[in-house]
Amino acid sequence: MEECIFCKIINREIPSHVVYEDEDVLAFLDITQVTKGHTLLIPKLHVSDIFEYNQELAATIFSRLPKVARAIEKSDPAIKGLNIVNNNREVAYQTVFHSHVHLIPRYDTKDDFSMRFGNHMADYTPDQLSTVAQSIKNELED
């Protein structure tokens, strides 16, 4: 895509700090560096989000995650954990519309990064949860 910043990084039209590359994926440091070592893993094929993945692309991208994650962990003995985040579409906080996975090293619980999940367990009965689960199952592709 002509105006996609990640496509420009793939094509070396703008600089980046590449940490891993093969014919299908590219991993490079996120310019924001939420924590030191914050890395993005992207497909070289331009797809906007996870909803555009086929099974082969998903296998390609997600099979590279452990390799890059282990490299990040080994790169700094101070790393105590890692968040893997994938935002899809604007309502889910996606800001660059070329699919990407964030690998965010964690050094301490006081890092400048947090993910908090609300607990709405009391809002759903077991029957309502069964209905939601069945609705999702009905949409699964073979």
Cite the active site residues: 100
- Classify residue 40 as exposed, middle or buried by CB count within 10 Å of its CB (0-12, 13-18, 19+): buried
Among candidate residues 94, 98, 96, the one with its CA nearest the CA of residue 85: 94
Nearest alpha-carbon partner for 5 in 14, 117, 24:
14
* Cβ 65 vs Cβ 103: under 8 Å: yes
